[in-house]
A and B are shown apart, each in its own frame.
Chain A
Amino acid sequence: GDSVTQMEGPVTLSEEAFLTINCTYTATGYPSLFWYVQYPGEGLQLLLKATKADDKGSNKGFEATYRKETTSFHLEKGSVQVSDSAVYFCALSSPDMGRRALTFGSGTRLQVQP
Protein backbone atom coordinates (compact mmCIF):
# COMPACT_ATOMS: atom_id res chain seq x y z
CA GLY A 1 0.00 0.00 0.00
CA ASP A 2 0.88 3.65 -0.06
CA SER A 3 3.27 5.00 2.53
CA VAL A 4 5.20 8.12 3.44
CA THR A 5 8.49 8.16 5.32
CA GLN A 6 9.83 11.27 7.01
CA MET A 7 13.02 11.93 8.90
CA GLU A 8 12.61 11.59 12.61
CA GLY A 9 12.77 14.63 14.79
CA PRO A 10 13.07 16.73 16.63
CA VAL A 11 15.09 18.96 14.37
CA THR A 12 16.64 21.80 16.36
CA LEU A 13 18.01 24.81 14.51
CA SER A 14 19.12 28.31 15.30
CA GLU A 15 17.22 31.21 13.81
CA GLU A 16 18.24 31.98 10.18
CA ALA A 17 19.62 28.47 9.64
CA PHE A 18 18.80 26.43 6.52
CA LEU A 19 16.13 23.77 6.91
CA THR A 20 15.70 20.46 5.12
CA ILE A 21 13.13 17.86 6.16
CA ASN A 22 13.35 14.71 4.08
CA CYS A 23 10.27 12.92 2.77
CA THR A 24 10.07 9.87 0.53
CA TYR A 25 7.00 8.01 -0.57
CA THR A 26 5.74 4.73 -1.99
CA ALA A 27 2.64 4.83 -4.13
CA THR A 28 1.13 3.33 -7.23
CA GLY A 29 0.25 5.66 -10.04
CA TYR A 30 0.92 9.36 -9.81
CA PRO A 31 0.10 10.76 -6.39
CA SER A 32 -0.28 14.38 -5.39
CA LEU A 33 2.12 15.42 -2.63
CA PHE A 34 1.62 17.81 0.26
CA TRP A 35 3.27 19.35 3.27
CA TYR A 36 1.04 20.19 6.20
CA VAL A 37 2.08 22.14 9.30
CA GLN A 38 0.67 21.80 12.81
CA TYR A 39 1.33 24.60 15.28
CA PRO A 40 1.02 23.80 18.99
CA GLY A 41 -2.56 23.15 20.04
CA GLU A 42 -3.95 23.56 16.54
CA GLY A 43 -5.14 21.44 13.65
CA LEU A 44 -3.18 20.85 10.45
CA GLN A 45 -2.86 23.51 7.79
CA LEU A 46 -1.81 22.97 4.21
CA LEU A 47 1.63 24.50 3.69
CA LEU A 48 2.27 23.61 0.05
CA LYS A 49 1.44 21.05 -2.59
CA ALA A 50 2.61 19.59 -5.92
CA THR A 51 0.45 17.55 -8.22
CA LYS A 52 2.85 16.27 -10.87
CA ALA A 53 6.48 15.41 -11.38
CA ASP A 54 8.95 18.33 -11.29
CA ASP A 55 6.32 20.68 -9.86
CA LYS A 56 7.64 22.94 -7.13
CA GLY A 57 5.29 23.93 -4.33
CA SER A 58 6.11 27.05 -2.35
CA ASN A 59 4.60 29.11 0.45
CA LYS A 60 5.88 31.37 3.24
CA GLY A 61 9.49 30.82 2.14
CA PHE A 62 9.14 27.02 2.19
CA GLU A 63 9.69 24.99 -0.98
CA ALA A 64 9.44 21.36 -2.04
CA THR A 65 9.97 19.78 -5.47
CA TYR A 66 8.15 16.63 -6.62
CA ARG A 67 10.92 14.24 -7.68
CA LYS A 68 9.43 11.16 -9.27
CA GLU A 69 12.78 9.56 -10.07
CA THR A 70 13.75 9.52 -6.39
CA THR A 71 10.15 9.38 -5.04
CA SER A 72 10.93 12.32 -2.81
CA PHE A 73 9.37 15.61 -1.74
CA HIS A 74 11.87 17.23 0.62
CA LEU A 75 10.86 20.42 2.42
CA GLU A 76 13.36 23.31 2.47
CA LYS A 77 13.56 26.83 3.79
CA GLY A 78 16.52 29.12 3.45
CA SER A 79 16.24 30.96 6.76
CA VAL A 80 14.01 29.67 9.55
CA GLN A 81 12.39 31.81 12.21
CA VAL A 82 11.29 31.00 15.74
CA SER A 83 7.70 31.22 14.49
CA ASP A 84 8.37 28.23 12.20
CA SER A 85 8.56 25.94 15.23
CA ALA A 86 5.87 23.33 14.60
CA VAL A 87 5.32 19.76 13.48
CA TYR A 88 5.55 19.19 9.73
CA PHE A 89 3.75 16.34 7.98
CA CYS A 90 4.42 15.05 4.50
CA ALA A 91 1.37 13.45 2.87
CA LEU A 92 0.16 11.99 -0.40
CA SER A 93 -3.15 11.53 -2.14
CA SER A 94 -3.10 8.58 -4.49
CA PRO A 95 -5.46 8.23 -7.44
CA ASP A 96 -5.45 4.48 -6.83
CA MET A 97 -7.12 5.11 -3.49
CA GLY A 98 -9.90 6.90 -5.28
CA ARG A 99 -8.71 10.06 -3.61
CA ARG A 100 -10.41 8.89 -0.45
CA ALA A 101 -8.02 10.45 1.98
CA LEU A 102 -4.47 11.47 2.65
CA THR A 103 -1.67 9.11 3.69
CA PHE A 104 0.54 10.88 6.21
CA GLY A 105 4.10 10.48 7.37
CA SER A 106 4.75 10.35 11.10
CA GLY A 107 5.61 14.04 11.34
CA THR A 108 8.83 15.93 12.09
CA ARG A 109 8.99 18.38 14.96
CA LEU A 110 11.02 21.51 14.23
CA GLN A 111 12.34 23.61 17.08
CA VAL A 112 13.93 26.94 16.18
CA GLN A 113 15.96 28.66 18.87
CA PRO A 114 16.56 32.42 18.95
Chain B
Amino acid sequence: NAGVTQTPKFQVLKTGQSMTLQCAQDMNHNSMYWYRQDPGMGLRLIYYSASEGTTDKGEVPNGYNVSRLNKREFSLRLESAAPSQTSVYFCASSDPPGTYEQYFGPGTRLTVT
Protein backbone atom coordinates (compact mmCIF):
# COMPACT_ATOMS: atom_id res chain seq x y z
CA ASN B 1 0.00 0.00 0.00
CA ALA B 2 1.99 2.98 -1.31
CA GLY B 3 -0.60 5.67 -0.46
CA VAL B 4 -0.19 8.69 -2.73
CA THR B 5 2.69 8.65 -5.21
CA GLN B 6 3.94 11.50 -7.38
CA THR B 7 6.34 11.67 -10.30
CA PRO B 8 8.76 13.20 -10.93
CA LYS B 9 10.34 14.27 -7.63
CA PHE B 10 12.32 17.10 -9.22
CA GLN B 11 12.05 18.91 -12.53
CA VAL B 12 13.70 21.91 -14.14
CA LEU B 13 11.95 23.56 -17.08
CA LYS B 14 12.70 26.50 -19.29
CA THR B 15 10.08 29.21 -19.70
CA GLY B 16 7.52 28.13 -22.27
CA GLN B 17 8.09 24.39 -21.94
CA SER B 18 5.27 22.07 -20.98
CA MET B 19 5.10 19.14 -18.63
CA THR B 20 2.68 16.89 -16.78
CA LEU B 21 2.94 16.02 -13.11
CA GLN B 22 1.57 12.58 -12.33
CA CYS B 23 -0.26 11.51 -9.18
CA ALA B 24 -1.75 8.16 -8.23
CA GLN B 25 -3.39 6.81 -5.08
CA ASP B 26 -4.15 3.24 -4.11
CA MET B 27 -6.59 3.91 -1.26
CA ASN B 28 -9.71 3.87 -3.43
CA HIS B 29 -10.40 7.49 -2.54
CA ASN B 30 -12.95 9.46 -4.53
CA SER B 31 -11.47 12.93 -4.07
CA MET B 32 -8.08 14.15 -5.23
CA TYR B 33 -6.38 17.54 -5.04
CA TRP B 34 -3.44 19.49 -6.36
CA TYR B 35 -1.79 22.10 -4.13
CA ARG B 36 1.22 24.31 -4.55
CA GLN B 37 3.47 25.28 -1.66
CA ASP B 38 5.36 28.55 -1.73
CA PRO B 39 7.58 29.96 1.02
CA GLY B 40 5.60 31.83 3.67
CA MET B 41 2.26 31.09 2.00
CA GLY B 42 1.30 27.61 3.15
CA LEU B 43 -0.44 25.39 0.60
CA ARG B 44 -2.88 26.76 -1.94
CA LEU B 45 -5.39 24.69 -3.88
CA ILE B 46 -4.91 24.61 -7.65
CA TYR B 47 -7.56 22.12 -8.75
CA TYR B 48 -9.53 19.34 -7.20
CA SER B 49 -11.61 16.39 -8.32
CA ALA B 50 -14.49 15.35 -6.08
CA SER B 51 -14.98 12.11 -7.98
CA GLU B 52 -13.93 10.34 -11.15
CA GLY B 53 -14.95 12.36 -14.17
CA THR B 54 -15.25 15.70 -12.38
CA THR B 55 -12.77 18.51 -11.84
CA ASP B 56 -13.07 22.03 -10.48
CA LYS B 57 -10.90 25.07 -10.00
CA GLY B 58 -9.36 25.98 -6.71
CA GLU B 59 -7.74 29.17 -5.50
CA VAL B 60 -4.92 29.48 -8.06
CA PRO B 61 -5.87 27.60 -11.29
CA ASN B 62 -4.42 29.97 -13.91
CA GLY B 63 -1.75 28.38 -16.08
CA TYR B 64 -2.72 24.81 -15.15
CA ASN B 65 -4.96 22.07 -16.46
CA VAL B 66 -5.89 18.76 -14.88
CA SER B 67 -7.14 15.37 -15.93
CA ARG B 68 -8.82 12.79 -13.73
CA LEU B 69 -7.80 9.83 -15.81
CA ASN B 70 -9.55 7.26 -13.62
CA LYS B 71 -10.28 6.83 -9.94
CA ARG B 72 -6.59 6.31 -9.12
CA GLU B 73 -4.88 8.97 -11.20
CA PHE B 74 -5.04 12.77 -11.27
CA SER B 75 -2.53 14.65 -13.41
CA LEU B 76 -1.56 18.32 -13.48
CA ARG B 77 -0.35 19.90 -16.72
CA LEU B 78 1.59 23.10 -17.28
CA GLU B 79 1.09 24.04 -20.92
CA SER B 80 3.58 26.91 -21.03
CA ALA B 81 5.66 27.11 -17.88
CA ALA B 82 6.47 30.48 -16.31
CA PRO B 83 8.96 31.37 -13.55
CA SER B 84 5.99 32.19 -11.28
CA GLN B 85 5.15 28.48 -11.35
CA THR B 86 8.38 27.59 -9.57
CA SER B 87 7.05 25.83 -6.50
CA VAL B 88 6.61 22.53 -4.73
CA TYR B 89 3.51 20.69 -5.90
CA PHE B 90 1.60 18.28 -3.69
CA CYS B 91 -1.11 15.86 -4.65
CA ALA B 92 -3.55 14.66 -2.00
CA SER B 93 -6.56 12.39 -1.74
CA SER B 94 -9.43 11.93 0.69
CA ASP B 95 -12.70 10.12 1.15
CA PRO B 96 -15.43 11.35 1.63
CA PRO B 97 -14.87 14.48 -0.46
CA GLY B 98 -12.78 17.14 1.25
CA THR B 99 -13.50 15.92 4.71
CA TYR B 100 -11.19 15.46 7.60
CA GLU B 101 -8.04 13.62 6.68
CA GLN B 102 -6.24 14.25 3.45
CA TYR B 103 -3.32 12.02 2.48
CA PHE B 104 -0.44 13.76 0.76
CA GLY B 105 2.17 12.59 -1.69
CA PRO B 106 5.87 13.41 -1.25
CA GLY B 107 5.76 16.38 -3.61
CA THR B 108 7.36 17.51 -6.87
CA ARG B 109 9.87 20.34 -6.73
CA LEU B 110 9.60 22.33 -9.97
CA THR B 111 11.96 25.08 -11.04
CA VAL B 112 11.19 27.20 -14.10
CA THR B 113 14.12 29.24 -15.42
Contacts and interface: CB of A to CB of B under 8 A. Distances in A.
A89 B44 CA distance: 12
A100 interface: yes
Interface of B: 4, 33, 35, 40-45, 48, 50, 56, 58, 90, 92, 96-102, 104-107
A106 B102 contact: no
B58 A101 contact: yes
B97 A106 contact: no
Contact of A43 (B96, B101, B104): B104
A101 B45 CA distance: 7
Contact of A100 (B40, B45, B90, B104): B45
A97 B50 CA distance: 13
Interface residues of A, number: 24
Contact of A98 (B92, B98, B101): B98
B42 A105 contact: yes
Contacts of B96: 99
B99 A99 contact: yes
Contacts of A44: 43, 90, 92, 102, 104
A89 B43 contact: yes
Contacts of B58: 100-101
B98 A100 contact: yes
Contact of A49 (B33, B42, B43, B101): B101
A4 B33 CA distance: 19
Nearest to B45: A101
